[in-house]
Structure 1
Amino acid sequence: MALTSSLADLAVLLVEPSQMQANLVARMLANQGVRRSTVVHTAAEALAALQGGADGMVVISSLYLPDMAGTDLVAAMRAQPELESVPFILVSSETRPQVLEPVRQSGACSIVAKPFSEQQLARALYAAVDYLNPPNDLDLAEIEGLRVLVVDDSLASRRHLRRLLEELGIERIVECADGQAAVAVLQESMFDLVITDYNMPEMDGRELTEYIRTQSWQAEVPVLMVTSEQNMGRLAAVERAGVSAICDKPFEASSIRRLISDALRR
């Protein structure tokens, strides 16, 4: 992963079928100090451009493209080892959760709602910079030997979380695809932190949290929930179950690091 310390170091690949919209975003990027930006109009052109080298590159894509949806583009990127860690920012006026869910689960850096301001775009870009060049927020003494259980039915989301944890220096990571598998692992191994999704088959994140707090011999382990769930009633039930913190998907890398640090200090 390339180290990138400012917006001037970014190389932005803008995937936008509308020339007018592309020109608008390109001006915003230039105003924010981005020196290198390339515009393509289809997902196929984007994937071809990325094959030439993606270090320090960020993809900003519209949702509706001529040849495939932006959700399919990010899925195609995450399926290629050389592209799975490239920051992806979706810009769209779409609000339906079922349409945006694949992007939320893909490990995208941000979803920027249209119409958006230059400041909103800048925030998404800085989140990409933070992902490409993670600061050392945690002391080495805190993370040495830390054992983390990641529970999520989305392989792309698990990979995204693993990359962030490994960038922090955390190496002892176990992955599970649902709550039931996590219960089996928790019965056999001890962990210092559990990071779980909410919506999963077999056993969801609330049920897993309730199991940990009421039946597990590790009842005090910090549980961090990273989820795209928007139903406030369900999230309130998760809080009552005893989760330590909740973070929205897509999430900024700095938010995850801060929540991990807070959970460990508690």
Structure 2
Amino acid sequence: MNYDDLFVLVIEPSKVQRTIIVNHLKSFGIHKIDEYDGAAQALEGMQTQLPDLVVSSMHLPDMTGTDVVTLMRKDEQLAHITFLLISSETHYRYLEPIRQSGAIAILPKPFSRKDLLSALQSTLLYLSDQDTEASYTEEEFEELRILVVDDSKLSRNYVCKILRNIGVETILEANDGNEALSQVENQAFDLIITDYNMPNLDGREMVEKIRQNSDQASVPIIMITSEQNPEQLTAIQKSGVSALCSKPLSYEMAKRIIERLVLDKNDY
């Protein structure tokens, strides 16, 4: 799949901002573009012809970008469509649901051409992996067991989709750190992918308990977080994580880290 194969749906109430976005997309060779200034009509349009990527602003005349992606994820037909937010919004209340939904990226206004290109590259990789068989031998994944830990079902779904796209079949899920520890006590895993902010037992505490008290103390652990506090991030790194990724998780980055940690790939 190439850029000129992509069908992109853009939701932006400002004609000026919409033109900027569309012109950037066209400069990458994307010409299948539908434009909307409101969410309701855009959601109707998606039902008529499924886009490969939805690019949306946060504040729309009839709802927010958060509402749009939430409705998409609840619709079986739209749930798999990649979502990119472009917004000057910085408030946690608006952005956190976007991060949890498995958005391909969140870009600020004004966004850079480089950042948009990175998001489009992740989209292409994500879609290409959906349409092709994994590039690894069956034996490499035959015994692979991965545990995904997150209190957000949407986030777990997105991470599981990444894993399935690269050929992983045995994926178990946990809602929080306590549930994950119970599973780690009873079965072996090749990789754990966990959120940081969770009820009951957060990701950092879970990692510390695994590193200090588990028979699987050396299992690779990827931590995904929207945390911005430098002190908290330092504490997470010291807890023993193998890799620390920010939300929203870049599909391309996630794939490379998983390959490096689990399959000993050297191209990361």
Q: TM-score normalised to the size of structure 1? A: 0.93
Q: CA distance change for structure 1 residues 171 and 153 in 2, over 3 Å: closer, same or farther?
A: same
- Superposition map of 1:43-54 within 5 A: 43-54=39-50
Cα distance in 2 for partners of 1:66, 1:105 equals 23
Unaligned runs of 5+ in 2: none
Cα distance in 2 for partners of 1:139, 1:238 equals 34
- What's the offset of the Cα at 1:176? 0.7
- What's the offset of the Cα at 1:53? 3.2
Name which of 107, 110, 113 aligns with 1:115.
110
Per the alignment, residue 97 of structure 1 pairs with 92
Cα distance in 2 for partners of 1:143, 1:207 equals 29
- What's the offset of the Cα at 1:265? 4.5
- What's the offset of the Cα at 1:213? 0.5
Cα distance in 1 for partners of 2:10, 2:139 equals 41
- What's the offset of the Cα at 1:216? 1.3
Within the alignment, does 1:124 sit opposite 2:124 as a pair? no
Within the alignment, does 1:88 sit opposite 2:83 as a pair? yes
Which is further off, 139-148 or 178-187? 139-148
Please give the per-residue CA displacement for 1:201-236, whole angstroms capped at 9, x wherever unaligned. 000000110111011111111111111111121121
Cα distance in 1 for partners of 2:126, 2:3 equals 12
Cα distance in 1 for partners of 2:151, 2:96 equals 13
Within the alignment, does 1:26 sit opposite 2:22 as a pair? yes
Per the alignment, residue 61 of structure 1 pairs with 56
Per the alignment, residue 199 of structure 1 pairs with 197
- Conserved in 2, the CA contact under 8 Å of 1:137 and 1:258? no
Amino acid at match of 1:147: R
Unaligned runs of 5+ in 1: none
Please give the per-residue CA displacement for 1:178-218, whole angstroms capped at 9, x wherever unaligned. 10111111111111110000000000000110111011111
Which is further off, 137-146 or 189-198? 137-146
Cα distance in 2 for partners of 1:79, 1:251 equals 20
Cα distance in 2 for partners of 1:238, 1:27 equals 40
Report SS of the residue matched to 1:170. coil
Within the alignment, does 1:9 sit opposite 2:5 as a pair? yes
- What's the offset of the Cα at 1:38? 0.5
Structural RMSD (CA): 1.5
Cα distance in 1 for partners of 2:227, 2:56 equals 23
Count of aligned positions: 261
